[in-house]
Amino acid sequence: MTGGDIGSPVPVAVVGPTAVGKSDLALDLAEALDGEIVNIDAMQQYRGMDIGTAKLAVGQRRGITHHQIDVLDVTEIATVARYQAAATHDIEELLSAGRTPVIVGGSMLYIQGLLDDWKFPATDPQVRARYEEMLAQIGVAALHRRLAEVDPAAAESILDTDGRRIVRALEVVELTGEPFAASAPTIGEARWGTRIVALDRETADLDERIAARTAEMFANGLVDEVAALAEGGLREGRTARRAIGYAQTLAALDGEYDLDRAVELTVIGTRRYVRRQRSWFRRDHRIAWFDAAATDLTDGVLATLDR
């Protein structure tokens, strides 16, 4: 697969809902296209957040270099702007070296920020501080309802547990006088001519995979992982602590409910997130969709990329 110049590589993005099977396809494509992986999962940026993010261990990466994994401490704030700058550098370095960047993950705003070169609205520390104080006083659910009153579309796209993004949306609405989405780029030609493929499965199949993967995470030591990260500041991390699975485990460790309830809430939270991912990605006309359960998946994707 080449770009406009003969022999020049073109990035491939593998997106889709959580637990659908993106990582295996991305590795297959990287092997076939002489590429390297560029992670675009927000929470896989965090060092030590391994089990709960389904991060591939080094021994599972087939010797393929991975970028934008393990680049943040759990006390640091993950932002689309930081990721955009860092991943852009990685991708352009790979392209200059004649390697194919294979971008993989399901973090919706990160994908749009990277592939559509999102220019982020300015921030105002005083306005943001006011909404952060409001968040502390009335709680995330009430602040989400306030967002729904002034910008229903933003409230629909932002989880009602994501206080940081709710605050940012309210800040942008106040500063610009426009809906939060108005600052987003228009979907057009993806940067670098990136080819975007998405995986999905039948809902019942994916629901089963989510339940099985969640059970496996807890069985394989997620509670110990979270407890260790808590010692390193996870509770103080404004973005890391809210990751699905980690937030529920922290609550269980703090005695809010038992571990069985943490597992149940993690499954529920993941399924809700999947619905948002599907809705988001289905709006992008550039995406070629594939059945993740297909036996000839990799060959089918490669055939499409060669067209």
96 marked as part of a ligand binding site: no
223 marked as part of a ligand binding site: no
The full set of domain ranges for the chain reads 12-118+186-306, 125-176
Strand partners, 102: 12, 37
18 marked as part of a ligand binding site: yes
17 marked as part of a ligand binding site: yes
pTM for the full predicted model: 0.85
Architecture label for domain 12-118+186-306: 3-Layer(aba) Sandwich (3.40)
Residue pair 198/15 in contact (Cβ under 8 Å)? The answer is: yes
Sign of CA dihedral 263, 227, 71, 133: positive
22 marked as part of a ligand binding site: yes
What are the phi and psi torsion angles at 296 (to 5°)? -110, 35
What are the phi and psi torsion angles at 67 (to 5°)? -110, 155
The CATH number given to 125-176 is 1.10.20.140
Residue pair 113/280 in contact (Cβ under 8 Å)? The answer is: no
19 marked as part of a ligand binding site: yes
One digit per residue, the tens of pLDDT, for the chain of length 307 reads: 544 444 689 999 999 999 999 999 999 999 999 999 999 999 999 999 999 999 999 999 999 999 999 999 999 999 888 999 999 999 999 999 999 999 999 999 899 899 997 777 778 889 999 999 999 999 999 999 999 999 988 888 787 888 888 999 999 899 888 888 766 667 889 999 999 999 999 999 999 999 999 999 999 999 999 999 999 999 999 899 999 999 999 999 999 999 999 999 999 999 999 999 999 999 999 999 999 999 999 999 999 998 7
Q: What is the pLDDT of residue 3?
A: 43
Helix and strand numbers, DSSP H then E, in the chain:
12, 6
Q: Which one, of 305, 280, 302, 303, lies nearest residue 116 by Cα?
A: 280
Sign of CA dihedral 245, 251, 256, 260: positive
Residue pair 175/153 in contact (Cβ under 8 Å)? The answer is: no
The structure tokens 């921030």 sit at 123
Residue pair 213/22 in contact (Cβ under 8 Å)? The answer is: no
Helix (H) or strand (E) holding 167: helix 163-176
